[in-house]
């Protein structure tokens, strides 16, 4: 999994601030608790990225992943923003563009696998995609 993220992040060349934070967390903080302060700005960034994942994959479904609508509601509440605010943010737009870039370069399966693992931080899972077989 770690090698996949290293390849993915080098291919993306960190197209967005959200992708950079997410990829760095996955690569550097593999099985440890990363030192991320979840202030309001961080929560909004992660929330916008999660909503971009959910919205993209509702319209472009994954074979092995599904959007967890209960998780979507939790992430919106946790972010401290409304859904409209998250969708209107630059972070949301940049994450959508990053996902599209991964799909163009690596295919939908890689984008789905990356999106499914993007938001696990320490003991907390802020993701909105769930693997069908788990």
- Give me the mean pLDDT over the 82-107 stretch: 96
The total of structural domains in the chain comes to: 1
Please write the tens of the pLDDT for every residue from 15-67.
444 444 444 444 344 444 444 456 888 889 989 999 999 999 999 999 888 99
DSSP 17-71: HHHHHHHHHHHHTTTS-------HHHHHHHHHHHHHHHHHHHHS--SSEEE-HHH
What confidence score (pLDDT) does residue 118 get? 59
Torsion-angle region of residue 47: left (phi > 0), alpha (psi -120 to 50) or beta?
A: alpha
Range of the domain at 126: 2-131
Q: How far apart are CA 43 and CA 17, in angstroms?
A: 13
Q: Is 97 helix (H, G, I), strand (E, B) or coil?
A: helix
Residue 96: is its pLDDT beyond 90?
A: yes
Place of tokens 């291919």: 11
Taking the model in full, what pTM does it have?
0.67
Q: Is 25 helix (H, G, I), strand (E, B) or coil?
A: helix
């Amino acid at each position: 999994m770690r090698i996949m993220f290293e390849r993915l992040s080098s291919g993306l060349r960190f197209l967005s601030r959200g992708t950079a934070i997410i990829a760095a967390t996955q690569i550097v903080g593999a099985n440890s608790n990363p030192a991320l302060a979840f202030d309001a700005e961080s929560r909004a960034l992660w929330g916008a990225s999660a909503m971009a994942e959910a919205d993209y994959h509702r319209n472009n479904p994954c074979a092995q992943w599904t959007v967890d609508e209960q998780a979507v509601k939790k992430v919106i509440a946790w972010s401290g923003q409304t859904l409209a605010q998250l969708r209107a943010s630059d972070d949301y737009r940049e994450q959508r563009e990053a996902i599209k870039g991964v799909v163009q370069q690596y295919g939908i399966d890689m984008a789905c696998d990356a999106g499914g693992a993007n938001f696990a931080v320490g003991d907390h899972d802020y993701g909105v995609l769930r693997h069908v077989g788990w």
